[in-house]
Structure 1
């Protein structure tokens, strides 16, 4: 691993990366390379906050399961019990949304055009979403769609009576000492920028983040590798969720028969995520 973090030539622009590995709750390796900001050449540090994208979803799922533990909801409730604005809410359960088998369409450019980096009201979001039929009968097919977790974030707010981030901060971040975890709408000053190539071989350009209205509940958190290791250790030690909730979280729906995302491997499961139409691990 250390050999992979070779110093780069001074003239080479290298967006940063941070890696941390734990074993049995103990950090056994951590390292960084590159720059958190290629324009200022600020280095990536192990303490540098970064947008964590879809890792946000596991915190949303944990929030829903915590509310079930508190008997404020059941994951077998219909979505309509908490979100009456969605026309198909009476056909879908929270469990189906957690498992990505709801049939709800995604909040992608096919629905919103090129406006995913711009603000949108919830009224506008539901107006757009309600134009679309379900992709299939809920519970029969699995496709990874962000809209499931946008709506689950809203369920957290309505079932708890708190904002999404206030609920997570009170029940997860503060108790676990995750002091560097926040949201992209209130980014820390030293947050790492995201970069990508428009075309292979071309210079890196700053990656435009989805507006928080779109990434809410699905990709709107910022964190560090150190905070994520705290989360991992606490989750597995049952300091956040109880045994029953953990079992629910880690159970592949339908014994994997309807889940086309997970690939079997003798060593570990692999999750394939489609990004810009291309499968990524």
Structure 2
């Protein structure tokens, strides 16, 4: 959404209770035009999707921001709940959220820019660009495999030394050095290229390759070559002190056994059964933890479609399916890894995007509806929000209604 120009709609009788204690906001923009008519009523303010989110917020099952855009123009934007309960700061459409793993595509996009410039080769191995890795990794794990989560490198966040020391790292450099040390300690879990297994370590290593090849820090590279040309003015890898103190940021909330929301920045939750701990690190990394807003993620889509970040051929290479995995829904014909993105054919329409979740609280997802020219963003700061159900509802509504004009 452009700027902070907003309007409040009059609630329908159905959603009036949902507005109690919440702050619903819609972009004050003319309805975007679809290819066959005006915005479908079901996707506009007051439509089915809008009412669905309002009902969740009324039950305190949603806290955050949702946004739908068509051809880069906001159609529907809503914000509910509190960004910082202790200071009574509400979530707004422009609130900045920690994306968790939904920022992984920033790293993949940086790699693809270097591939397009002939600085990185998709078939080359990790050891071509970085030193100090075990032979099983250095000589066999390729850039392609790290982009598609078929590299076998696992998750550095489960490394004991990482868990013991990460909270003491207070610079971008010490964060990257510590993560790379954790990855170097661990050989691949399986023969690279033989199967899919989600790997934060693989994406983190790609960030280190970006730094080595470009001569810039990973963080400076993505700021200069992705965030700035895309016009993403509220997107960055912000540090924890700013996250805690700046009123523009949403604090993460997990829920205790009694269902009470707990600020994950001030009190981390118990570790998950997987071994993941809930502390918030000083700063994010190439594998996740970048911050953004709903509007900035729409700007990323717009920049990709307009060739500001990659030319058309490399944008297609970036976004198309490379390694299919079993679909979890009958509405999904095929899904799997693109290059740092998840590519999905939903109801016979191609989608690309990524989601993320934090143990400390909050889940996120952004989706590019490639052949419909729509963008959907869901950013929450509640651990108990069922983002998968919201995501499926968004996809169902967009693919069903965006292909026909609204009823007048």
Please, what TM-score do these two structures have when normalized by structure 2? 0.59
Task: Tell me the equivalent position of 1:19.
Answer: 66
- How far apart, CA to CA, are the structure 1 residues paired with 2:343 and 2:228? 32
Q: Compared with structure 1, are the counterparts of its residues 254 and 105 closer, same or farther at alpha carbon in structure 2 (3 Å cutoff)?
A: closer
Once the two structures are superposed, residues 49-86 of structure 1 have per-residue CA deviations (whole angstroms, 9 ceiling, x without a partner) of: 11111121111111000111122222222111221122
Per the alignment, in what secondary structure is the counterpart of residue 100 of structure 1? coil
Please tell me whether the aligned partners of residues 116 and 211 of structure 1 are also in contact (alpha carbons under 8 angstroms): no
1:144 partnered with 2:187: no
Task: Tell me the equivalent position of 2:227.
Answer: 173
Instruction: List aligned pairs for 1:116-195, cutoff 5 A.
Output: 118-119=167-168, 121=174, 124-185=178-239, 187=242, 189=246, 190-195=248-253
Q: 1:40 aligns with which of 87, 92, 95?
A: 87
Q: 2:309 aligns with which of 228, 240, 248?
A: 240
* Shift in Å, 1:165: 2.1
Please, what TM-score do these two structures have when normalized by structure 1? 0.84
- How far apart, CA to CA, are the structure 1 residues paired with 2:238 and 2:79? 22
Please tell me whether the aligned partners of residues 102 and 356 of structure 2 are also in contact (alpha carbons under 8 angstroms): no
1:97 partnered with 2:158: no
1:251 partnered with 2:320: yes
1:74 partnered with 2:144: no
* Shift in Å, 1:131: 3.7
* Shift in Å, 1:117: 5.2
Task: Tell me the equivalent position of 1:229.
Answer: 298
* Shift in Å, 1:202: 2.4
Bigger Cα displacement from structure 2, 143-152 vs 186-195 = 186-195
- How far apart, CA to CA, are the structure 2 residues paired with 1:280 and 1:46? 18
Once the two structures are superposed, residues 59-117 of structure 1 have per-residue CA deviations (whole angstroms, 9 ceiling, x without a partner) of: 11110001111222222221112211222222111111000000112113354474375
> Can you give the 5+ residue segments of structure 2 that lack an aligned partner in the other structure?
1-48, 266-278, 327-334, 360-385, 389-408
Per the alignment, in what secondary structure is the counterpart of residue 108 of structure 1? helix
Once the two structures are superposed, residues 25-45 of structure 1 have per-residue CA deviations (whole angstroms, 9 ceiling, x without a partner) of: 322111111111111120111
Bigger Cα displacement from structure 2, 47-56 vs 115-124 = 115-124
Per the alignment, in what secondary structure is the counterpart of residue 230 of structure 2? coil
Q: Compared with structure 1, are the counterparts of its residues 15 and 205 closer, same or farther at alpha carbon in structure 2 (3 Å cutoff)?
A: farther
